[in-house]
Amino acid sequence: MKAIFLMLGAVMTALVIHAAPAEAAKKKPTKAQIRAECAEAKKASDYDTPMGRAKAKIACLGHYSHRAYWKEFNRHNDCLRQTRMLCPD
């Protein structure tokens, strides 16, 4: 019985060690990379319009929080649906 638990422990350890490199590959971008991407989005040609600013805000929020990204995205979609015109930031 003890041997079975030892073998199960060894298998589980091997699985955890094997899965670790895959998770390491999914690193979040650094704050400097996020700032650079946000700056690029703000330099876009349509940034002077409310929708362009919304796109830049959404691009920046996408890195920080999935929930914040979709909240902002849906807020602007709802506004556009209701008013059928450009919405404030």
Q: Is the overall model pTM greater than 0.85, yes or no?
A: no
Query: Mean pLDDT of all residues in the chain?
Result: 66
Structure tokens that stand for 38 in this block: 């946000």
For the cut 60, the answer to whether the pLDDT of residue 49 exceeds it is: yes
Contact 50, 39 (CB under 8 A): no
pLDDT in tens, 52-80: 777 777 777 655 556 666 776 777 677 66
The whole-angstrom separation of Cα 17 and Cα 22 is 10
The whole-angstrom separation of Cα 72 and Cα 75 is 5
Tell me, what's the pLDDT at 52?
74
Going by pLDDT thresholds of 50, 70 and 90, the confidence category of residue 13 is low
